A and B are shown apart, each in its own frame.
Chain A
């Protein structure tokens, strides 16, 4: 009998094509997702070298980063953005790649539409020129972000040169308390693992708390693995995964046969991870970031920390710099931080369950007078579904803007940005300096926490919310 293997071992072993002597292994890539920002130079490289795309049918493209979220019938106002979108169109035409273009009913954030269309499947290797590709690991795939040169390598060869990463089991026992979400859990985990605690590792999230999460919540957790430094996060496929996959457009035609194969993927009993970290789901309270990286996070019931209280000199200077940038005084209660903007969206939290959770909070309330709030669904499908359920009306009636699908103010490449000094409760994944706009101040929270903050104009503990 062969030695027990982890989920990572199995997918890795299944995909190593060949290891040339003295070189890095060639890892086969099953699915390649392409977007507007990190692909033009890769296609140009192919053209210059006279190379083709090896498997255009395994390559899927959509514009998301740089697209307007306002009326799609209007032309793109920014000529440089328009050129980048036009370039993606021309490249997909030239190389025969399926494109979910602006105006296509299924256009959306690449990490939302991959799982939604069934492009993402358990056991696959999936890459994209985007660090949040880790999202797809929620379905039991090995999925990670790559740079543009690697995008070109995958386009040309359908493989990647990769050293095998180490495995890190992050086991979460127990269960989340009511009002505490997957977003709170992953922010909590990043706070404890640090922004580089997962560097060099693929995280496999295990344990009863993880198993108890629905598919979209699992995506939220895996999505932010990169914020702990791990290129990939994954969760072993189970009945929840299979139920999610069933009936999706690109799901295997012989579904039962596929399930039989997928059932063999979970980590074997006795398999050894390179490292194990254990947490308790019951310890997690709703989280709010106070600094300029996602590990600078605390509970909504806490205060902005004192930088001098950090033992490590790097942490101390980072915290001091962060408080200066964020315009926050040490000791300030998190619930006393006032807000100017609220953003509900991004590949972390723009799926239907996220929007339902936010709408439940908002229902019967109005957005605070001093707050500008917007909801940006993750895809055309999410938007349609939400409209069928009447969620758009809940948001609009409360004073939220209801937008078209895209990355939007998660990174502010399009016109959706913060002005200098504006403070935003955001369901996105990065609170870096200037991420949502130069001088903008980002606090990462769950969709429910963002919705409640929009109503009250400051952070509130969602566990005490009065739902109407």
Chain B
């Protein structure tokens, strides 16, 4: 897994709540058997018009979101299907961080498995970030944030700074880019002992 330590990037604002994984990566693109190449399909139904050209109205197609690596959204981001294709698509598009007031559980876990950091901030803080990003866009510039996973902080250059929390084990895995299957297999003897002790129900047939 790609380690995550610090990241500075442009914010892409997606001012919507309940963004579901069907929107992040529509089902017609789930037929691939690889983990890569999903970025081109990210938010496909919103991002492109019927003729395949970019939809100029879609938030991430606006000039201020060009090159964005930090996605800002409203609450319950990533709800719905368990498809890990959603974080694969976000990562492949270039996102390393998603900031929202709340996330759906499965999506949140899936991000952490892919070197992508989901950050929960309060609804008010997220609203403030939307305001700052909009002000930057109105001034013809892009809004940047600095994310530091070691210090667990997110900050801009104009005085906004907040700390966030992340599970200590998941944080360590991200910082070091650890393969958690490898970590778990270190305990293979304990798993075997558990199986022996619990007299696993025999599987018929």
| A positions within 8 Å CB-CB of B | 14, 17-18, 20, 22-24, 26, 28, 30, 37-38, 40-41, 44-45, 49, 51, 54, 57-58, 65-66, 78, 80-81, 83-84, 87, 98, 121, 129-131, 145-150, 152-153, 156-159, 161, 163, 195-196, 199-200, 226, 229, 231, 249-253, 293, 314-315, 317-318, 321, 411-413, 430, 432-435, 438
Contacts and interface: CB of A to CB of B under 8 A. Distances in A.
Given A196-B79, A253-B204, A150 B109 contact: yes
Interface stretch (B54-62, B136-144, B150-158, B188-196): B188-196
Contacts of B103: 199
Contacts of B181: 45, 49, 51, 152-153, 156-157
A40 B82 CA distance: 15
Interface residues of B, number: 60
Interface of B: 16-18, 20, 22-23, 26-28, 30-35, 45, 74-76, 79-84, 87, 102-106, 109-110, 113-114, 167-170, 172, 179-185, 187-188, 190-191, 194-195, 198, 200-205
B18 A293 contact: yes
Contacts of B109: 146-147, 150
A30 B201 contact: yes
Contacts of A157: 181, 184-185, 188, 191
A57 B32 CA distance: 27
Given A84-B31, A131-B80, A28 B26 contact: no
A188 B104 CA distance: 20
Given A24-B169, A80-B32, A38 B84 contact: yes
Given A18-B187, A149-B113, A293 B20 contact: yes
Q: Which 7 A-B pairs have the closest CB atoms?
A: A149-B113, A40-B33, A147-B110, A147-B84, A145-B82, A314-B17, A148-B84
A252 B200 CA distance: 11
A250 B203 CA distance: 7
A130 B84 CA distance: 10
Given A150-B110, A196-B18, 17 more contacts: A18-B190, A18-B191, A26-B184, A41-B35, A58-B200, A83-B31, A129-B82, A129-B84, A146-B82, A150-B113, A161-B184, A199-B102, A226-B80, A315-B17, A413-B28, A430-B80, A434-B23
